[in-house]
Chain A
Amino acid sequence: MKANLQVVIYIVIFLFITACGGGGGTSNNPISSPTNNDQDWNIPTELIFDGGPGRDGIPSLDDPSFVSIDAMTIMEPHDLIIGIKVGDVVKGYPHKIMDWHEVSNDIIGDQPYILSYCPLTGSAIAWELDDNTGDSFFGVSGLLYNSNLIMFDRVTGSNWPQMLMQSAQGSLRGKEASNLPIFEMNWETFTATYPNALILNENTGFSRNYLDYPYGTYITNSDLLFEVSTIDARLHPKQRVLGVKIGDSTRAYQISKFAGDLQVINDTLENENIVVIGSSNSRFGVAYNSKSRVDDKVLVFTPIFNQLPVTMEDNEGNQWDINGVAISGVRVGEQLSTLFSYDAYWFAWVAFFPQTSLVN
């Protein structure tokens, strides 16, 4: 009997040890370990959380499909959509779909880019692929910093906190991404502004109910799911702001406090002249450097109402659209310089940039 007992115990222990032995150890292996030899983070690791899904557990869209506006059936007039215009092509990425995927690897013409949206921080940013990012698709790491999406590039496995717009860990640590101009607005305004736009549709290859918001009441309540570095009670945590960062100076513009139709603000930050364009009714806010990149002249803008995508006229009589492109006048075709700027929930912007000033 004793021998019998021992045999069974040995078998069970053997099974467990052998079962636990394989599988690659205890590390979250980088995609390409020879180039990813720096595992240190340049951000506080106590504010990095594993959200649970795991790397690629939230699947990025690597071959997104688009349809015309008329073919979209899931959108309501107040729903938010992220727009990007490259050349004459406009694409729209509904929050309803990006809530479930967060990253879309895409291209317009010869401009490859990564469009990302973090549903927990409400931040949408498009990065162009350049020497810093490498020619790589990006994915969702499953990690969060200050509650914000951390992406990873599929070539080196380096991790990139979205709102920092730079790599925080891996062989590309410290590399900065360059953003492309995008805008977020409600569906009603978007469809009226760009009726020929292509819209990311729900045929993503993944079985998700895009009519269902995956985070319950998070979008409107005051709760945070993960700890952040700073809490600032000046606004409701989920209030959407347009954040702008130049050097060490940061400023937030409360989108719901813009004039209903349209508001243009000629502002300065860190001794730079900027122009902020926003509408509380259409729920958008964008910002550009108001110094011409052609002749360094500082332009002063006034709003043009009810002519979206045209939004403003400068002191030389040129008219500009929401993407910061001159569409008439002597500067036609000129593009205003983009800034480190994007829309986000207030709590997230202030967590990343606690010294921010607030315009409301």
Chain B
Amino acid sequence: MIKKLVKIIVLSICCNQVSAATCSCAGVPLLSSMEASSADSGKWYLSVTYEEHNINDLVSGSDDINDETERARESRSLLLQADYGVNESWSITGMLTYIDHRRQIGISQGSFAEAKGLGDGLILVKYTPQRINLFSSWEYSFGFGSKIPLGDDDYKINSVSVSEDLQPSSGSYSWLAWGYVTYAFDQAARSQIFLSANTSINNENGRNYQFGNEYNFSVGTSYHLQNDWAISAQVRYRESLPDERADVTIPNTGGEWVDFMPAIQYQLNQSSGIKLAARIPLYRNLEGAIQFTTSDSISLTYSYAL
């Protein structure tokens, strides 16, 4: 019975992990699929995520407009994450990323551009004073850390550096803060709601470019179905300030987004599971006259607890 309860709790927590950090790899909200687990004392929690992020919607303010250039812009990411529980309250999260940015203008021959390589890394220290357990329906967790520019931020095609949004790495350190609260409606934690907030304070990179600071707020719920399945859904509000180059605001960057993020998870066994998650835009109000922005993203995560 205890084992089953533990399994349900682990599954539920894994399923409703919210966006851990808002830092981005070269403008793409890369870490939105990060597993924000807080590993138990002395335990390891490992995960690998593959994400496809399509950035093809053309938006003016909050209005969708047709893109007759048939642009296809996607970012494919591989995220390797490790969490270690130092003790019952403190844990550390580290992440490595590999990024593949692609851009193709459909109406144009020879416009394909691709930049790939090691992206940004991340390290986050989390404090979890209260966890969901047999005696508590609440869990609180807070984290602080940094995004680390491990990869190439001066990727060149045809001897010319590609634009910042195509660079594998942002090229700059960012400060990250993250908070997370969840409440379980029942002792087995089959049903939960959660809130999260996080921010990324970005710095200028070596090319004098600075991605705008980001602020995220999420609310969601998760439910553990029968037979090792769990589902979750959250709505996320995201605000990004405009980017800057040499302290000059870049037009047509920054804005507000509201996304719907459903996920389904299957627990393979007591220590591992897979999760399929998606991000679907509900609303956006973007700066400037025109912007390309996220049309959708989908990710597949395998997680393993040691």
Binding site for B on A (CB under 8 A): 1, 4-5, 8-9, 12, 15-16, 19-20, 23-31, 39-41, 45, 48-57, 59, 139, 143, 154, 157, 169, 205-209, 212-216, 218, 223-227
| CB pair B251 A23 closer than 8 Å | no
A-B pairs with beta carbons under 8 A, tally = 146
Residues of A within 8 A of B52 (CB): 19
Smallest Cβ-Cβ distance to A24: which chain B residue:
B112
Residues of A within 8 A of B246 (CB): 227
| CB pair A12 B48 closer than 8 Å | yes
Shortest 3 CB-CB contacts between residues of A and residues of B: A56-B108, A55-B111, A52-B163
Excluding A4-B268, A12-B48, A56-B111, 11 further A-B contacts by CB distance (< 8 Å) are A5-B272, A9-B48, A39-B158, A55-B111, A55-B113, A56-B107, A206-B68, A207-B65, A214-B288, A215-B251, A216-B249
| CB pair A216 B102 closer than 8 Å | no
| CB pair B107 A19 closer than 8 Å | no
| CB pair B111 A225 closer than 8 Å | no
Identify which of B111, B115, B166 gathers the most chain A CB atoms within 10 Å of its CB.
B111
Main secondary structure of the interface of B (DSSP, over half): strand
CA distance A200 to B49 in the complex (A): 50
A-B contacts, 19 listed (Cβ < 8 Å): A1-B271, A4-B272, A8-B272, A23-B114, A25-B114, A28-B158, A29-B110, A41-B159, A57-B69, A57-B111, A59-B68, A157-B110, A207-B65, A207-B66, A207-B68, A213-B289, A214-B288, A225-B248, A227-B208
Contact with A along B23-62 (1 / 0, CB 8 A): 0000000000000000000000000101010000010100
Shortest CB–CB separation between residue B246 and chain A, in angstroms? 8
| CB pair A20 B76 closer than 8 Å | yes
Q: Using A1-B271, A19-B100, A55-B110 as known contacts, say yes or no to A28 and B157 having CB atoms under 8 A apart.
A: yes
Residues of B within 8 A of A27 (CB): 157-158
| CB pair B160 A48 closer than 8 Å | yes
CA distance A41 to B48 in the complex (A): 42
Residues of A within 8 A of B208 (CB): 227
| CB pair A139 B163 closer than 8 Å | no
Shortest CB–CB separation between residue A15 and chain B, in angstroms? 6
Could you say which of A12, A39, A52 contacts B159, with CB atoms under 8 Å apart?
A39
Could you say which of A16, A51, A56, A209 contacts B69, with CB atoms under 8 Å apart?
A56
| CB pair B69 A59 closer than 8 Å | yes
| CB pair B113 A28 closer than 8 Å | yes
CA distance A8 to B50 in the complex (A): 12
| CB pair B272 A225 closer than 8 Å | no
Could you say which of A8, A54, A209, A227 contacts B274, with CB atoms under 8 Å apart?
A8
| CB pair B248 A54 closer than 8 Å | no
Shortest CB–CB separation between residue A32 and chain B, in angstroms? 8
Smallest Cβ-Cβ distance to B60: which chain A residue:
A209
Residues of B within 8 A of A29 (CB): 110, 112
